[in-house]
Structure 1
Amino acid sequence: MQNVASGRRAVAAAPLPASVEAAWGAPTPKKLVIRAFRHVPKLPDDFYEENWSELLAALRAIQAGDGQCFSREELFRKVEDVCLHDMAARLYGDLEREMDRHLAEALAVLPAPETVPAYRPVLAAWKQHCRQTQIVGDIFLYLDRTYAVMNTNVRSLGEMARALFAKHLLAHDGRVLRPTIASALQAIEKDRRGEPMERAELRDLLVDMLDTLGFYRTEFEPQLFATTRAFYAAEGRHYVAERSLPEYLGHCEMRLQQEQERVQAYLDASSQRQLLAILNDALGRQCVEAMMDKGLEALFDETRVDDLGRLYQLLRRIDATWKLTPRYGEYIKRRCAAITLDEEHDADMVKNLLALHERAELMERDAFRGDKKFHNAAQTAFEAAINLRQNVPAELLARHFDQLLRAGNKAYNEEQLNEVLSRLMELFRFLNGKDVFEAFYKSHLAKRLLLGRSASIDWERSVVARLRTECGASFTNHLENMFKDMDVSADLMQAFEQRRQRRNAPALPPIQFHCQVLTQAYWPCGPPLAIKLPESLQRCQDAFARFYLSKHSGRRLAWHSAMSTCELRARFPRGEKTLSVSLHQALVLLQFNDADALPYTAIREHTGIFDDRELKRTLQSLACGKARVLQKEPRGRDVHDTDRFAFHTDFTDPHYRIRINQIQSKESQEEQRNTSERVFQDRQYQIDAAIVRIMKARRRLSHAQLIGELYAQLPFPHKPADLKRRIESLIQREYLARDDANPNAYRYVA
């Protein structure tokens, strides 16, 4: 039995299979039952009063400046307990009333504005209020995060504190706010006058207090703008009366910078735009026109780029650059007209115009910031003023080109010359009489090419290319053909020299002979002048004529000696010299190989130069110029028919090679008249063509209408009398006819 029992206990101790356990049943779990109190807990009747009394004591301690005599954690728990027992609304109301009471007492005892700046006590009260609100916010945080957040019509504690402070500032018709703002404005005015003041303190008042309370834009800013306008208006009137324009512009720039710094220092950034607008209006729009009347001319004359830039920026800020643009254009026109009409300084006209144009470009680029309106005003002024003198500026501009492109002009390197040529082209664009320029330029170009006076053929071609770009191919057709003639002449001379070297060619004198064959239509050559050449020169000339006519039958050669040059070897007692002279000068000098002295009449007969003006000019250059290889009796600058000329045996010069220029090597008055006459003849054809073209299109026009159409179409200056003569000429040639019904009208004759 014992063994069996022991075995049964052993079986009972062993783990049961799952099936066996399920059969016997699992143990039932116990349940936790929570039962209500038999007696409901009840708050003490004085629960809220007791907690509020402790919170009130803490509040008043904080308001008194003693915030360390209590535990903030315990006070926080009391606030939490009150809120958890649904007394948050009552607590919020009591807190608001207590803070309201305290602020009323604190702001009521502020010092009078006469004793201290009114804003300082208010600012101190605000800072203290902010510190106290921070502590109160920490204690009543649970109230703020639950009750205030959950109720949309209830302000947060911070908003409530700010609203209460704002209410008391506005109380009693702004008894506190008005002197506060007034004293702040007085401090700003002191700052504008340069008197010392606390900028950091003012920033705390304006940005931290007034802007936070919402009074900056509603109460302070309108008064700030009004006082600013009055301050700068009075200052502007004072400066207009007592200061110069540069001083005034410098003051405006300084004030602008100061206002920007003032905004950054203690004003709200939103005020900057309006403040600067008021400043620009008071110092700019109200005063700048009077200041420009006072000193603008001097700024232009002295090219005061910095001051003009300040003026431009000031006008640009007030959208009034249109006041300066016409003044600038009138100044350029006035100065350009003074240069153009100054006949005593015609020699310097182009240089002065270039200097004025360069000054204008400098002002437009650096002072007016590349404003196109000023550039256009200057262009219009130049065009109007340069054309006040008909033909003269075009002639002088062509002469200036000639001086630049002549050999021996070493004042500029290639880069500088290109720049000067570009500036000259700017002046060329202003000319109405471009055909006059073309005529004189062609005359100068002919002399440079034929006399070998050109500094560089590449530069010559560059100028012609610029003119072609500016005016078209028809304008430069003759100029380009002149270069072609020079190239063809070089090939002809090469072939002629090859022929001279042949054995069967007739012997020629040992003279270096060079000839240029020119197309008469392209070159401004006058009528050929009959002269008596020495036999050696005549033989060379005849040989070339036979050679050329053998190649080109049906052509005719006309020899122009006025453009010819020679080199002579002269033996003086004090040394041998090589003289570079014109052909006419050479003919005169060769006469003294057979005679030591000759009268004027004999020289005329032997040379065949029967043009007294040309002969006298030639003798004057040899006997009265810088290199006097001849002596004249009697002495004097003028040459007369009774004068005698002798070889100058005592002539000396430090140079071996001497160039003797003709007197008045530039165009004489007669040549100028001839050139002008040729231009006028060409213009007549253009006027005739324009009249016929207009009448063919319109069929019938009154005299005034026709003249108006011609002024609009003709590209060069002209006079009504010239137009009337061309109309009469066309009537005589039966292109036009007077209208039968109206003698002041014309009709086109088909």
Structure 2
Amino acid sequence: MWMAKRAIVELEQGWELVENGINKLKRILEWYLKPADGSPMPDLLDVDECMMIAIYNMCTQAHPHDYSQQLYDKYHEVYQDYIRSMGFPSIKEKHGEFMLRELVGRWLNHKVMMKWMLFFFNYLDKYFTVSRSLPSLDAIGIAYSRNLLNQEVIANARDAVINLIDKEREGEQIDRALLKNVIDIFVEVGKGQREFYEQDFEAQMLQHSAAYYSRKASNWIAEECLKRERDRVSHYLLKSSEQKLVENVQHELLVVNAKQLLKKEDSGCCVLLRDYKVEDLSRMYRLYRKIPNGLVVFSTIFMQHVTAEGTALVQQVEDAASSQAANGAGLQEQALKVALEKSCRTVTGRSSAELLITFCDNIFKKGGSSEVVKFSHILSTETSLQNSTGKSLLIGYFLIWSANKDHEKRILTKLKQQLWCTIHIKDGANDLTSALENQTIFEEYLRNNTNVNTGIDLNVTVLTSGFWPSYKSFDLSLPLEMVRCVEVFKGFYETRTKHRKLRWIYSLGTCTINGKFESKHIELIVSTSQAAALLLFNNADRLSYSEIMTQLNLNHDDVVRLLHSLSCAKYKILTKEPNTRTVSATDNFEFNYKFTDRDEKD
């Protein structure tokens, strides 16, 4: 009786079958991590037996078809590919508690995969690795588990765990089971030994805990001592002793060692700012603000921190611009300007050119026109040419035209050269002079026509459009008080000319209005659109975003910008509900009767 000869299984043919089974195992593991996508769980039972037979055949075939070594090498490759393509990237892209949850899930998957891989390659592990004295397949899986936890993952996981521990110390609820699972990973990577856990987690955790309680202790002790001294006064000392006693304790606890306390390496102000410890910073601020000049060192450290952080960010941009990817110094310089411009607009909502113009406008008003020329080269870019931002400097300068015409013309000529503007100096100057004369005639017209009443003081600067940059205009619906003024001036202007049409540029106008607040009346200098918005509240206690938008006839972007300046900026003339830092179409607004001018000095 003859037995049929077993067919040879070539490496490519056999490995294709094995690889399909491994890929199906990976899909099952991913399904357990993300089962919510609705896809059914793959079935592994239909391939595992075929895989084991194929592996067995490839390991027991006669030379040269014994592929045991090749299968051993591919076993390594499977783990390398799994960690590189699925394990590490998915952990790295998450942060904080989400990263810890991903790490725990990936670690569990890795352990399940180790068991199945050992089951599939059981014959290879039992005979080939033993006969060649090679590391067992189980040892290979454990070794690659350490690759999954590289130094970056370990550091991020450790920091995330310590951060959650700090939150619990501050009274927040945390997922303790999650932390226990992460700690178990540190132990399991070390094969149950504590050395890995102690070196890569425990040492840093203990160091951080010491710094945490050192920081807390210094602040708690100071606050507690001051509290006890006040309590002591209330029980058996004279009330007149309280201030003296408190000042004495503050001096010894805080003033004498102020620099040492604020600059401590592990718990000082720099560390609190770096780690964003808001509560500890608040406690430190409360303690030192009551001491004469107590915040001087505090503010100096804060300034140094902001300077260092800002310098580091700018240096990063400069380094990126100087990399080999940039060709030529001009390109590097332009890239740096663009990057800084974008970062400026992101933080402030305004371009650097717009911020500079506001700064220059303040210098103009203080008579420092020569200083403005030193800054104007920053605006000499293509962006400034494409819009009228740079030209706004010239407009602003004309609007504060002084009596010294020769000096002013020299300054304007320099600005024009820096900004490449096409504005005509002579025509613009003559036009402004004519506008000033026109205002004088208008005032005379009002005095001679007592039946004409504007209701409010009105100054109008009429300029010839051909001599000036174009400005975006919008059809602002003015309140009745302003409409009457506009109609009066329009009637006056038509008595002087029939061939010119007035186009009102409200964005260049300012208004001085009298706000009646609970504490006192306060004069507010605002833009025309801001004044129009505020006057709406003379007839309504509460207005919605859509009502303001409709009554002013402005588009969404203009209304958001307008209401943000009145309700979210430094001076909150309007109160907003909800009280957030941004304006949305569902907000409601009220006049802030409790507003006070904190900057005004008595």
Q: Scaled by the length of structure 2, what TM-score is found?
A: 0.39
Q: Which has the larger radius of gyration?
A: 1
